[in-house]
Structure 1
Amino acid sequence: MAGALQIICVAVLFALLVYVIYSDVTRRIIPNTVNIAVALLAIPFWLGSGEALWPLVGWQVLLAVGVFAVFAGIFALGAMGGGDVKLLTALALWLPAIPYLRMLVIMSIIGGVLTLAYLVWHRRRKKEGEPEVPYGCAICLATFIALGEPIVKQFAG
């Protein structure tokens, strides 16, 4: 069962992610300060888990390094923004590997729908060039689902 510290951390994380959605939609920026806060907030989340910090922290950091390496490559190809890469890396500190992979699948589905919606909207407005998709929205919504599902199950059953 999640402790009070973990619940508070998740609530603060969700508030930060709501801000990320707002910032990404309105300015196409995910501030570094928010990404740093998301990463640092994982520390009290781990402490509140009641699990031994080793190897928990080691696995989470290893996952985050791997996520950064993969998504930095995607950034280098111009397919994703730097703020998105940093946010995905910070969020890798929150979820174990399998739930994180589930979050990435959910993110991809939401991101695909979002991209299609922006493409249609962009074409209807007859704008030139490619639409800029605020992919941070897909990342945040997928995180809400991935972190929220266990919480709902805990209180429902």
Structure 2
Amino acid sequence: MLEAAIFVIFPFCMVFAAISDILSMTIANRVSLLLLVAFLVLAPFTGMQWSQIGLHLAAGALVLSATFVLFAVGGMGGGDAKLLSATAVWFGLSTALVQYLVLASVFGGILTVALVYFRNSPLAHFTGGNSLLQHLANGKAGIPYGIALGVAGLVTYPETPIMQWALARLAGL
């Protein structure tokens, strides 16, 4: 049961955040809160020491500090900042966190270039009325960075300590 929760909760939150950002240009606070609470509930049952859990929380606080500055200067949305911070808690202070942050930046850059190109193409005019694509086609809308965060999170999630524990448990069955 514990392994199932580890396999489902984080990926579900990443997919939900990405789709939510596409459709509404917002990431609900409950997604970040669910990630944080789920980690705090699951981690002790994986045998993670309290000091390790503290380091995971420190990773989240460190990322929150950096993303708060980005939010304050208008470089990042609030939902993106909270999602990035809650996700960092799952990664902890590890090379997996660095991989996640680098991939999120790369995917975010690709997404930004693609959206600028799309928004300046004739296709944006035709798709602007579509409820699924309206925010993507709107040149005045921001970049739904939750897409990049979600994809990067899904790609790097197998490297997280909690997922490594779950994979080891399943391999031992």
Displacement of 1:128 after TM fit?
Answer: 7.9
Displacement of 1:23 after TM fit?
Answer: 0.6
> 1:142 corresponds to which letter in structure 2?
A
Higher normalized contact order (CA 8 Å, seq sep 6+, divided by chain length): 2
Structure 1 residue ranges, 4+ long, deviating more than 4 angstroms after superposition: 126-131, 149-156
SS across alignment from 2:89: coil
- CA distances 1:28-75 after superposition (whole Å, capped 9, x unpaired): 0000111111111111331232222x2111111111111111111011
- CA distances 1:7-46 after superposition (whole Å, capped 9, x unpaired): 4233122112211111100100000111111111111331
TM-score by length of structure 1 reads 0.85
Q: Is the 8 A contact 1:119 1:131 kept in 2?
A: no
How do 1:42-53 residues align onto structure 2 when only pairs under 5 Å count? 42-52=39-49
- CA distances 1:49-106 after superposition (whole Å, capped 9, x unpaired): 2222x21111111111111111110111111100000001111110122211110001
Between Structure 1 and Structure 2, whose CA radius of gyration is higher? 2
Counting matched residue pairs gives: 152
Matched residue, 2:81: 85
Matched residue, 1:58: 54
Out of 144, 147, 156, the position equivalent to 2:154 is 144
TM-score by length of structure 2 reads 0.78
CA RMSD of aligned residues (A): 2.3
Identity of aligned residues (%): 27
Matched residue, 2:111: 114
